[in-house]
A and B are shown apart, each in its own frame.
Chain A
Amino acid sequence: MNVRLIARLDIKGPNLIKGIHLEGLRVVGDPQQFARKYYEGGIDELIYMDTVASLYGRNNLSEIVKYTAENVFIPLTVGGGIRSADDVTHMLRMGADKVAINTAAVNRPELIREVSQKFGSQCMVLSIEAKRVGPDRWEVYTDNGREKTGLDVVEWAIKGQELGAGEILLTSVDQEGTRKGYDNRLVRAVSEAVSIPVIASGGLGEPAHLSDVIRQGKADAVAVADALHYDRLSIERLRQAVDETAMAVKHV
Chain B
Amino acid sequence: MSSAITLIDYGIGNLLSVSRALEHCGADVELAQTAEQIEAADKLVLPGVGAFADGMNGLRERGLVDAIRKHAEQDKPLLGICLGMQMLLGTSEEFGQHEGLGIIPGRVCAIPGTTDAGQPHKIPHIGWTELRRPQPDTEWNGTVLEGIPADSRTYFVHSYTAIPDDPKHRLSDAGYNGRTIAAVIRKGSVYGTQFHPEKSRNVGLQILSNFIGLKR
Contacts and interface: CB of A to CB of B under 8 A. Distances in A.
Interface stretch (B27-35, B94-102, B122-130): B122-130
A93 B17 CA distance: 9
Contacts, number: 83
A195 B17 contact: no
Give chain B's interface secondary structure class: mixed
Contact of B127 (A39, A196, A221): A221
Contacts of A217: none
A119 interface: yes
A95 B17 contact: yes
Given A197-B124, A197-B126, A73 B204 contact: yes
A80 B168 CA distance: 47
A167 interface: yes
Interface residues of A, number: 28
Contacts of B50: 119-120
Contacts of B17: 69, 95, 97
Contacts of B49: 119-120, 122-123
Contact of A195 (B120, B199, B204): B120
Interface in B170-213: 176-177, 196, 198-201, 204-205
Contact of B155 (A3, A74, A119, A121): A74
Given A1-B121, A2-B153, A74-B199, A44 B20 contact: no
A1 B176 contact: yes
Contacts of B121: 1
B158 to A, nearest CB: 8
A92 interface: yes
For chain B, the bracket of interface size reads 20 to 34
Nearest to B123: A195
A136 interface: no
B122 A120 contact: no
B127 A4 contact: yes
Interface in A65-113: 69-70, 73-75, 92-93, 95, 97
Interface in B109-124: 120-124
Contact of A92 (B16, B120, B126): B16
Nearest to A218: B122
A120 B51 CA distance: 8
A220 interface: yes
Interface string A194-234: 01110000000000000000000000110000000000000
B138 interface: no
Interface in A124-180: 166-167
B16 A93 contact: yes
A187 to B, nearest CB: 13
Interface of A: 1-4, 39, 44, 69-70, 73-75, 92-93, 95, 97, 119-123, 166-167, 195-197, 220-221, 250
The 5 closest A-B pairs by CB, nearest first: A120-B50, A120-B49, A122-B157, A92-B14, A197-B122
Given A74-B199, A250-B177, 14 more contacts: A1-B122, A2-B153, A39-B201, A73-B21, A75-B155, A119-B49, A120-B13, A120-B51, A166-B157, A197-B126, A220-B126, A220-B127, A221-B126, A221-B127
Interface of B: 13-14, 16-17, 20-21, 24, 49-51, 120-129, 153, 155, 157, 176-177, 196, 198-201, 204-205
